[in-house]
Structure 1
Amino acid sequence: MNDDRTPEPEDTGADRGRTPEERTEPRNGTGAAQRPGPGRQPLPEEKTPGSGGERPADGPAAADAPSGAPTPPAPAPGAGADAPAPEGPRDEEGMTGRQRMRAALWPPRVSRAQLIAALLLCVLGLGLAIQVRSTSDASVLRGARQEDLVRILDEIGDQTQRLQDEQQRLEEQRTELENSSDQAEEARRQTEQKEQQLGVLAGTVAAEGPGLSITVSAPQGAVDAYKLLDAIQELRAAGAEAIQINDVRVVAGTFFTQDGDRVRIDGQRVEQPFRIRAIGDPQDLEPALNIPGGVVQSLEKEQATVAVTREEKIVVDALRAADRPDYARSSPQ
């Protein structure tokens, strides 16, 4: 079995009488320990890291640093080009130079004088541009040949003639439109007037004008529907244009019926006294009622009282709905 232990050095005669420290000192070729001679300096001890001593820094910085000066702290890991640059000095308000410049430029502060100056400069620039354009056009015409100038004049003359013809045509169209509009306005006015006239005859619109106001008072049943119908016929024959009895409008299709001792007009009961309002020429209507054997004398024979009064303004305001015919239609003739 092999023994791995290191053999102890043999105790020679040279090591006898030496201490253990002297035994570990290196020897020279003769086996004696090397000791510093009288002219030699002892070598400094080499300190290894972790032995408690400080190792001198390597490089030129270590060579330039004075002995005994404190070594500057090394930069922290990761600090380098990515670290933000320090801001500049701040003023009394706590603003940097960049912030002061931004506050001075925005928002812009424009005075009225600056606005007026800018407007004047714009107008001046526009005038200069127009002047340059006109000058360039004039220079083009100034340098044109005689044949080109004649051609340009002919084109301008033709264009002027076309514009004059167009103006004349438009004026003729305007005249035609004015005439047609006048004719249309006249036709519309006549249509409205005709509608009013037909409405008066049909009883769909109110009417007013000179005429007669007639009041008939009689004992109950003394004046029947037939005597009232005779009075209406006399007024129509004399030229009455609108007639109203009490609150009933009398038109071409009005009918009278007798209901006992009561009178009905278009199905509506009419009570005494009978008030008849007729619009027409009073000089024609009144004689037609007062002729011998006429309406007034016939009613007076029935012990009725008849009062006829001429008036400058008679209002017939009773209306009736327009009846739409079932078979009759308007004809173009």
Structure 2
Amino acid sequence: MSEQNEQPENRLRRELPAEVPPVGPEPGETSGEKPGEPLTGRQRLVKGLWPPRFTRAQLIVAVLLFGLGFGLAVQVASNSDTDSALRGARQEDLVRILDELDSRTQRLEDEKQGLEKQRSELQSSSDQAAEARKQTAEKERQLGILAGTVAAQGPGITMTVADTKGTVKADMLLDAVQELRAAGAEAIQLNGVRVVANTYFSDSGNGVSVDGNKINAPYRFQVIGKPEDLEPALNIPGGVVQTLEKEQATVTVERSGKIVVDALRQAKQPDYARSSSQ
């Protein structure tokens, strides 16, 4: 029989391609299901979840959430350590800490009252120009002491740190300076170097460099301020003295009615800042 006489349905069946057999698992893999059987709900769920598919946005969000969680965990751990230290402190240590907080509050209140007094004197003075000059001169003297361009003397303490093991580092001395400032220190001198607001510390061989000046142990702090505030601030639990003693350093603190801070710094003219009144 020729192709022309062949039935249409037979010719159509002969032209269709053979059915493609289902693709089975790769060698060494198991599909977990029999060929030809429909997938169950659990199998479809597993195939939808694994392997996981992440977009770039999801990865960024995940990293940010991880960082946030890590930061919160560190903060909680830090607070827990502080709370544990306070819970384990002796009663006299807790009283000392409270006294130090009260002293700082009182200093801030005294400063506020002093500023209010200056304002009242300036407003009530018959010669406001003369009063303004007087207050300006006094302010200049105070700023000179803070900037280290003027020598100062007054009551305070002397703290000596003997470091025979060479374990005291620059950051420990910086912590001592910050604690003294927080306790109301008005002028600080360390081994003949005046310590001011922009003073920097760095490790230098077996010693420490202060504003580029190499100093060696023993480290001698001469501090002007109220001795009743300065000494307790150094001796609080976990404070400067305790930290240095853990490093096998020996610390002695002595009160004095007269401390002389005579190391001076040269006044530096700012490169860019100018008075707004000019």
Question: Shorter chain as normaliser: what TM range?
Answer: 0.5 to 0.7
Q: Quick one: distance in 2 between partners of 1:236 and 1:329?
A: 28
Q: Any idea what SS the aligned residue of 1:195 has?
A: helix
Q: What is the percent sequence identity of the aligned residues?
A: 67
Q: Any idea what SS the aligned residue of 2:188 has?
A: strand
Partner of residue 286 from structure 1, selected from 231, 236, 247? 231
The reply on whether 1:190 has 2:135 as its aligned counterpart is yes
1:192 CA displacement: 1.5
**Preserved CA contact (<8 Å) 1:220 1:261:** no
The reply on whether 1:317 has 2:235 as its aligned counterpart is no
Partner of residue 223 from structure 1, selected from 143, 147, 168? 168
1:283-313 CA deviation, whole Å, 9 max, x = no partner?
1111110000111011111111111011111
1:264-295 CA deviation, whole Å, 9 max, x = no partner?
00000112111101111111111110000111
Q: Quick one: distance in 1 between partners of 2:197 and 2:191?
A: 17
The reply on whether 1:214 has 2:159 as its aligned counterpart is yes
The reply on whether 1:256 has 2:208 as its aligned counterpart is no
Letter in 2 for 1:191: T
Determine which structure has the larger helix proportion and give its number.
2
TM-score, length basis structure 2:
0.52
Q: Quick one: distance in 1 between partners of 2:238 and 2:128?
A: 52
Q: Quick one: distance in 1 between partners of 2:175 and 2:161?
A: 13
Q: Quick one: distance in 2 between partners of 1:250 and 1:244?
A: 6
Q: Quick one: distance in 1 between partners of 2:203 and 2:165?
A: 13
What residue ranges of structure 2 are gaps of 5+ in the alignment? 1-124
Q: Any idea what SS the aligned residue of 2:197 has?
A: coil
Q: Any idea what SS the aligned residue of 2:276 has?
A: coil
**Preserved CA contact (<8 Å) 2:184 2:226:** yes
How many correspondences in the alignment? 154
Q: Quick one: distance in 2 between partners of 1:269 and 1:211?
A: 25
1:48-77 CA deviation, whole Å, 9 max, x = no partner?
xxxxxxxxxxxxxxxxxxxxxxxxxxxxxx
Letter in 1 for 2:220: R
Q: Any idea what SS the aligned residue of 1:244 has?
A: strand
Paired position in structure 2 for 1:236: 181
1:218 CA displacement: 1.2
1:254 CA displacement: 0.3
Q: Any idea what SS the aligned residue of 1:227 has?
A: helix
1:183 CA displacement: 4.2
Q: Quick one: distance in 1 between partners of 2:172 and 2:257?
A: 27
Task: Map 1:1-333 onto structure 2 (within 5 A).
Answer: 182-332=127-277
TM-score, length basis structure 1:
0.44
- Higher Rg of the two aligned structures: 1
Letter in 2 for 1:307: T
What residue ranges of structure 1 are gaps of 5+ in the alignment? 1-178
**Preserved CA contact (<8 Å) 1:224 1:261:** no
Q: Quick one: distance in 2 between partners of 1:235 and 1:309?
A: 14
Q: Any idea what SS the aligned residue of 1:276 has?
A: strand
